[in-house]
Structure formats: C-alpha cells, structure tokens
Amino acid sequence: MFQIEPERAHHLTIAMARFGFSIPLLSNVIQSSLNPGNLQATRIMGLDFPNKVGLAAGFDKDGKYMDIMARLGFGFIEIGTVTPRPQVGNPKPRLFRLKKDQALINRMGFNNDGVEALRSRLQAYGDRSFVLGGNIGKNKDTPNEEAFRDYVKCFEAIRDLVDYFVVNVSSPNTPGLRALQDKEPLSKILSELQTLNHKGETKPILLKIAPDVSPEQIEDISDLVSTCNIDGIVATNTTIDRSGLSSSQTDLDKIGNGGLSGAPLKSFSSNIMQQIRRNIGPDKTVIGVGGIMSGADAKARINDGANAVQIYTGLVYKGPGLVKEIVSALA
C-alpha cells in the first residue's frame, strides 16, 4: 500500500476491507483475529464505552466507514470534521507520508459532504454497538466573527444522532481557524453551543486543541472549560512544528504546509495533555490523541491522565491489529 499515493491508498484500503467483510467466512476470520471484544468497558461522560480505544476524527469524515471500523474493535468512533456546507478541501496532493518518521503530513482542508448529507447517512445507519462522536467545524469561507453560527448549525443538525460533540478549532489547514482558540472567539462558540445544549437533551461537548498552543492559551482554554462547563478536552490535533524529524529538509520543503501527525507528535501531545489535566482537575474528561503507535504509548497516555485514547496515523503504519494491541495493553 505504501507504493500507492496516500489518499488513494486510504480509499483502496477501505474498499478491500469492505469486500473482506462482505464474505461471511472471511469476515469471521478477520473479526476473530483483530477484534478484542469488550475488554475494559468503561463509563465516560455518562456514556458506556465498550473500551477506551477510539478512531480519531479525519479518518471517516462523512460517516461512510463506521461499520467497517467498528468491526475492528474500536470502542468509539469520531466522525468529521463536518461543516454546514459541503466543501472539496484543498487541492491534491494533500496527504503525504514521512516513512522515516512514521508520520503523515496532511492539508486536507475539511473536505466533506456537508452536515445534511451526514445526517441522512446517520439516520440510515440504525443501531450501533459503539459510542459515536461528531467532530464539527466551520466552512473555509465563513468569517471568524460568524464562526459560531457554523458550529451551531452542525450541532443542531446531528444532535439526535451522535453521543458527544467535539469542537474543532485547531486544524492548521483552514486559514485563520486556530485564531478561534483565543479566549474571546472560543468563549462565544462554547457559550452559544451550551445555551443550545441546555434547551433539549444535553450532549457532552469536548474541545479539540492544537499541540502548538502557548501556556497562556492553555490557561485561557482551561478557564473556559470550567466557565462554559463543557465536558473536557481532546488533546491534541496535528502540529505545524517540524523540529527533530529524520526526513530531509528537501523532502519537507517539497511537501510544504500541513499538519504533522504520527510518532513525532507523541511528546508534544503528551506534554499538552498533562498540562491540561493539571489545569482542569480530575473530574473533566481528557481524550489523548497524537503519536500513539503502540499499546505502551496508549498506556503511558492513560497513566498521564487521559480517560481514553484515539488513533489514526498508527493504523497506517501498524495496521488494524493496533486496536487489539492497545485494548489488551490497557486491560
């Protein structure tokens, strides 16, 4: 698969998995070898998680692959980032491998079918055995001062179809988006969502932050978690930092901008997560994501204070057996 362009390889892998699961005997073999079962079932944010290993947002932006990924044993799946209106994202190529570093660089740009298409897909899905999160964002052409309206639209559209929400203000691939992590715009978004949230069946709301935030931003974000009474933090998104990589500067220059994920992100994400945990206390939820490439990595993140973990790039380099490895390590 590594001989194929990364974005095409992603879709081809899903197609192969779907074909394999369509054959009953082969499906049973795959599930028995890869699915860890409901080891270490746990309750987080008032929700019953079959296990503490989740699929990070970005892998399944439009809720098209939930059935396949659930069969691999994920306890929870986070779909998105979804925006109110469809958008094609950034020009291709926009996904790159750094094989020497076990990393990816992406500048996808919130490519998705839009929230109404996602709503229709979720309505048709039926019963599910996993916890489902909805990762929501703003359209590229929505001014930051109007961004809160996009988050509200997404929240309203799929509120009855997901178990929790993640507010994404931390992708580096939508111009100006990370400015929404500043205290004033972030307070507006979270306050609007919580006002709406308390008018009906409440859903847990988490905030996904970047690993590149300053200590001052961490303080402000932690304060807002308490002030707006949201449920916690997803730490972290991808980084724009390129320090300490084994890949050559020439290769990095050819790739250009984008968010870095995978093994080099481990220390960034771990450090930010520990700071967040210290600031928000033991009662709020923290989901650890970024650089988790093994069961040992996941166990360390839990020991650092995460309630659960998510993976994405680890799947690319380690394969689907990583889910079972992590669940077993945590159990």
| 3-state SS record for 236-256 | CCCECCCCCCCCCHHHHHHHC
- Which H or E element spans position 44? strand 42-44
Q: What is the DSSP string of 138-174?
A: --TTS-GGGHHHHHHHHHHHHTTT-SEEEEE---TTS
pLDDT, average across residues 257-284 = 97
- The reply to whether 103 falls in a domain is no
Contacts of 120 (CB under 8 A, 6+ apart): none
pLDDT, average across residues 146-159 = 98
- The reply to whether 46 falls in a domain is yes
| Per-residue tokens: 190 | 């979270």
Strands 42-44 and 47-49: antiparallel
pLDDT digits (tens, 9 = 90+) for 86-114: 999 999 999 999 999 999 999 999 999 99
CA distances from 129 to 75, 167, 236 (A): 8, 24, 26
* Predicted confidence (pLDDT) at residue 123 exceeds the cutoff of 90: yes
Worst-scoring range by mean pLDDT, 26-35, 149-158, 243-252, 266-275?
Answer: 26-35
- The reply to whether 237 falls in a domain is yes
Query: pLDDT exceeding 70 applies to what percent of the chain?
Result: 99
- The reply to whether 25 falls in a domain is no
| 8 Å CB contact between 35 and 324 | yes
pLDDT digits (tens, 9 = 90+) for 196-218: 999 999 999 999 999 999 999 99
Residue in 27, 32, 171, 243 annotated catalytic: 171
- The reply to whether 117 falls in a domain is yes
| 8 Å CB contact between 132 and 66 | yes
206 phi and psi angles, rounded to 5 deg:
-115, 160
- The reply to whether 321 falls in a domain is yes
- The count of structural domains within the chain is 1
pLDDT digits (tens, 9 = 90+) for 286-303: 999 999 999 999 999 999
pLDDT range class, residue 134, cuts 50, 70, 90: very high
pLDDT, average across residues 139-148 = 98
- The reply to whether 19 falls in a domain is no
Looking at residue 38, its pLDDT comes to 66
Looking at residue 271, its pLDDT comes to 96
pLDDT digits (tens, 9 = 90+) for 28-77: 988 888 888 767 799 999 999 999 999 999 999 999 999 999 999 999 99
Looking at residue 31, its pLDDT comes to 84
pLDDT range class, residue 115, cuts 50, 70, 90: very high
Across all residues in the chain, what is the average pLDDT? 96
Longest dimension (CA), the chain: 55
- The reply to whether 212 falls in a domain is yes
> How big is the CA angle at 28 (ends 27 and 30), to the nearest 5 degrees?
65
CATH number, position 322: 3.20.20.70
Catalytic residue list contains 171: yes
For residue 79, the enclosing domain spans 39-88+109-242+266-330
pLDDT, average across residues 267-275 = 96
